[in-house]
Structure 1
Amino acid sequence: MGRRRRPGGRRRIPRPLLVGGAVVVVVALIAGIAVVGSLVSSLFQTLSARPPAVDTRIVVPDESKAAKAAQQADAGSAEAEAAAWLAAQPTTYWLTPEIDPLDEVWDRVAHLSAEARDQDATLAIAVYGLPDRDCGNHSAGGLDPDAYREWTARIGDALRNASDVRKIVVLEPDSIALGPSCGSMQERAGYLRTAVDNIRGVDTWIYLDGGHSAWHPANEMADLLRSTGLLNDVRGVALNVSNYQDTANEFAYAHRLSDLLGGIHAIIDTSRNGAGPAGSEWCNPRGRLVGAPSGAFGDDVVDTTLWIKPPGESDGECNGGPEAGTWWPDASIELTRESR
């Protein structure tokens, strides 16, 4: 028990104890403020901006592969017509270390941000440089862990520099849905954590890979997403990226995931699903069509539809296609045959 106070007198606190106590209190206050500030900052970065929604205007990038193909194709040809039509559509730009390496990626993001500002549009980018990307399949590649940390840090710095531009970031398509097949979920979650920490900021909406409705059952996909430990730090998930599933099925899948995961949101890739899937074929299936444009649909869970995979770019060396990501004139003509 402490000392009893003398009747009629005041208890005197020794000066050293008072000073030391004050220091402890101040240090504790500072530490508490720092913790609260960090939490508030994270929450603000995640929730402050107006979310993407129906009728969202997405930037039309002037350096897309479609735009370059339109300039190089013979005037009046079907190839030129298809490429020009696709080049005019609001579409996600893919940042890859092969095209936008470490010493160039900041400038690329700054240029894209300036385009979005000029067009009064939302910037949409896919970040695609994860170590062991695509597990050695058609889109194999990516950076080593240290280079990936620096590359994503430069992307994040450039995005934060464009504080007046709203940004949608599709983070590492296929990275989570493909994780079990690669046997590297723990490592991938660590890389994704690095990327999220480097990229997030005010008016920056990050969507993790959520696969699609014909890949993992919703319960299984929800477990994979939980295992990353990132759901409180991102807006939601990107569905149907580079795939062909019907939009209605993806909306239902998005709602199921949202119910399982406490209300997360989603965006849906509609760039090539106008004719629906071709069975289980995912690599350059023939007879496909472009789908509903970016910003066409949305609800209380699906923030917006978005052209994420640029139509006209190959899925890989399959069904007659060139290397993954390469412009393929035949595909561009086929996909746009009912639209242009």
Structure 2
Amino acid sequence: MKRRTTVTIAAAASLAVVGAVTQSLVGHAENAAPTAVTQAAVTRAADTTVTAAAVKGLPKTMTFYVDPKSGPATWVSQNKSDSRAATIKAGLSSKPMARWFGSWSNDIKPAVNVYVTAATKKKKAPILVAYNIPGRDACGGHSAGGAQVSEYRTWIKNFAAGVGKRRAVVVLEPDALADFNCLTTAQAATRQKLLTYATEQFHQSAPNAYVYLDAGNSNYATATAMSGRLLKSGLKNIRGFSLNVSNYHTTAEENAFATKLNAQLRKRGSATKPYIIDTSRNGLGSNGVWCNPAGRKLGVTSRVNQTPTAKTPEARLWIKTPGESDGNCGIAPNAAAGVFDPAIAVGLVRGK
């Protein structure tokens, strides 16, 4: 689920974690949108709990759901006698993080509905990732796959219907807009049409969901290139964009990129958009290695920004599941993408 951070900006300008064997097949390539205030207000008009102030940022009281079947939680429940279990439970499995959905999720509408319902009963916001775009992880390859073009529209329509009118945070197709240098012109055009369709489905069927179209990271494409891709992929229909999904770049680096990206959106006649950053593994930043690098550390846990500005994210979230492998590489050469590895997990907790 992670992409190469070694790709140069020039190459990226010409430019998709899949899951756990457990529940999310998430291991995506290295990384792969609010509408104007008036549009955001319309989008969430059905949710009477959302105030006008909330439109300017996620509700400050919003807290996130702890997935009881995440990779770390599943490993801890199955390995209670392991000396690492207490560390992983305290540092990872007790924290809120995203659940990834793809072909492994079986019938997508009930799968999403069950998860969102469980979170709603706890009065928490679930974080969900849609990760099933055709040609997924075209550049990284470790999480390659995705639906067929003929199947994707039905799949994403049912995903949005599964969320329904409940409040949720949804990250839409990590890496999908960062993989363009590994797609033909025709494939890129088809992908943007599919993403536009996806944003339309959430706009219509999940009006209270905060949906973010993935925009890769600061090392993948120029702000000029990415702004154009976002606008051609339905950004106007949803809340905002996501950055650093499954990657290691610092929050400061991604904030700087987001500022440039929003400036380019303005130049193209668009309103600026709120954004979120994946902080699951960026506690020490990147060392230039994108696939299971050594010596990385957990970033701040999932939380809403209490004082959002135009140059800061409205939330920092654990989108990638910490401890799940990026692929058969780095410090986990025998762990396929999405497989939970306790050694990776403990390393992230300790920053070693």
**Shorter-chain TM-score: what band?**
0.7 to 0.9
- Counterpart residue number, 2:3: none
Q: TM-score, normalised by structure 2?
A: 0.77
Alignment of 1:1-340 (within 5 A): 44-45=42-43, 49=50, 50=54, 51-52=57-58, 56-79=62-85, 81-83=87-89, 85-98=91-104, 100-101=105-106, 103=107, 105-135=108-138, 137-160=141-164, 163=165, 165-183=166-184, 184-200=187-203, 201-228=206-233, 230-261=234-265, 262-279=271-288, 281-295=289-303, 297=305, 299-301=308-310, 302-321=313-332, 322-337=335-350
Structure 1 residue 166, shift from structure 2 partner: 1.3
Structure 1 pair 318–77 and aligned structure 2 pair: CA distance change class (3 A): same
8 A contact 1:66–1:312 mirrored in 2: yes
- Judged with a 3 Å threshold, the aligned counterparts in structure 2 of structure 1 residues 123 and 186 are, in CA distance, closer, same or farther, namely same
C-alpha displacement of 1:41: 9.1
Contact 1:46–1:233 (CA under 8 A) maintained in structure 2: no
Mark the structure with the bigger radius of gyration.
1
Per-residue CA shift, 1:241-293, capped at 9, x if unaligned?
Answer: 000001111112112212221311100000000011012x1111110010011
Q: Match of 1:304, as an amino acid?
A: A
CA distance in 1, matches of 2:316, 2:45: 20
Could you tell me the TM-score, scaled by structure 1's length? 0.79
CA contact (8 A) 1:207 1:236 kept: yes
8 Å Cα contact 1:274-1:291 kept in structure 2: yes
SS at match of 1:143: coil
Partner-residue secondary structure (3-state), 1:170: strand
Q: 1:237 to 1:272 in 2, by over 3 A?
A: same
Task: Return 5+ residue gaps in structure 2 as ranges.
Answer: 1-37, 266-270
- Evaluate the alpha carbon distance shift between residue 92 and residue 140 of structure 1 in structure 2; reply closer, same or farther with a 3 A threshold: same
Structure 2 residue identity aligned to 1:188: R
Which is bigger in relative contact order (C-alpha 8 A, separation at least 6)?
Answer: 2
Does the 8 A contact of 1:53 with 1:303 survive in 2? no
Deviation readout 1:287-308 (Å, 9 max, x if unpaired):
0010011116462342111110
Structure 1 residue identity aligned to 2:177: I
Paired residue type of 1:111: V
State the superposition RMSD in angstroms: 2.3
| % identical aligned pairs | 32
Contact 2:282 2:299 in 1 (8 A): yes
